[in-house]
Amino acid sequence: MAVLVTGGAGYIGSHAVAALQERGEEIVIVDNMQQGHRKALLGGKLYEGDLRDAAFMDTVFQENEIDAVIHFAANSLVGESMKDPGKYYHNNVFGTLCLLEKMNEYNVRKIVFSSTAATYGEPENVPIDEYDRTLPTNAYGETKLAMEKMMKWFDVAHNIKFVSLRYFNAAGAHESGKIGEDHSPETHLIPIVLQAALGQRPHISVFGEDYETADGTCIRDYIHVSDLADAHVLAVDRLRGGADSAVYNLGNGTGFSVKQVIEIARAVTGKEIPAVFEARRAGDPATLVASSDRARKELGWNPKRDKLEDIIKSAWSWHEANPNGYGDK
């Protein structure tokens, strides 16, 4: 039986493909290559196309014996979602609806879903657990929450079981050195800081120094992309074992401010990395830190690369060796 990975040529998807490959799973990948990279695929059979193309998806389900889906394919930028929410509703929400309908049609009843801390919005409690209020402050988070709710009702009506993994901030690169982060344009903090270290940018712009945090900059919980990938494999196992649907947070449980990230990156790279303070970015909550106790207990998940310094070192190895990423965009 094969695992279908949608968005498998993207940053987190490609690390999940690598993790599935390492344990000998048969892998089918669907990616429209909007953000994906062919070179990011260390295994699997690629179908290039879009979830919203019904005839294309018929071919994928007819040509393969798929028993589980890991669903990454989505747009995922907070800032962009505030400017173009329609793009997010179309690709994320409608794309997921198309996928779930095809899964139902082809009797595929297990899905692991790439969700996000952005579903919580400004948290009521820190660290955040899965019972906390979900009130997104940006359109991206709202679409991911809508996708989770859609899965809930497809479970009720059609018995499609889901595991929704709400990640905090993914960072780092695969230990093989073969795959890593390459977004175009890049918007995430750690790769931008490292591009500044490489001299590809004059400085890092810090968005907001007036948040209610110790140093005034936003706090996030950074988690290594390979630890995230491992959680997806565990979630597939759990669904194959007959478990019920569930939602899990994935983070290390420690928050770092933007200023702290820059300081650690300066130490790791030995570079100056100039910082310039600018206005807040729309839609950013002040603090997002995970409680992942549930994932540890129920999935048996145990993040191995949990020091931010090591996560930044892993990202730095990739960026130094691949200053232009995969070089294909």
Q: Which residue lies nearer to ligand UFG by CB, 151 or 239?
A: 151
CA atoms within 13 A on the CB side of 213: 23
Query: Least CB distance from residue 279 to ligand UFG, whole Å?
Result: 10
Rule CB under 6 A: say whether 201 interacts with ligand UFG: no
Please list, in sequence order, all residues whose beta carbon lies within 8 angstroms of the beta carbon of residue 187, skipping any fewer than 6 positions away: 77, 79, 80
In contact, 111 and 128? CB cutoff 8 Å: no
Largest CA distance in the chain: 56
Among 31, 227, 230, 284, binds ligand UFG (CB under 6 A): 284
In contact, 259 and 304? CB cutoff 8 Å: no
Rule CB under 6 A: say whether 195 interacts with ligand UFG: no
Element (H, E) at 88: helix 85-88
| Whole-angstrom distance, CA of residue 295 vs CA of residue 100 | 24
In contact, 112 and 239? CB cutoff 8 Å: yes
Rule CB under 6 A: say whether 192 interacts with ligand UFG: yes
Check if 140 is active-site: yes
Query: Least CB distance from residue 202 to ligand UFG, whole Å?
Result: 12
Rule CB under 6 A: say whether 188 interacts with ligand UFG: yes
Cα–Cα–Cα angle for 315, 147, 74, rounded to 5 degrees: 40
The single residue of 88, 140, 222, 248 carrying the catalytic annotation is 140
Query: Least CB distance from residue 151 to ligand UFG, whole Å?
Result: 17
Query: Least CB distance from residue 314 to ligand UFG, whole Å?
Result: 16
Among 100, 258, 311, 312, binds ligand UFG (CB under 6 A): 258
Interface ranges with ligand UFG (CB under 6 A): 76, 78, 116-118, 168-169, 187-189, 192, 204-207, 218, 220, 258, 281, 284, 288
Catalytic residue positions?
A: 140
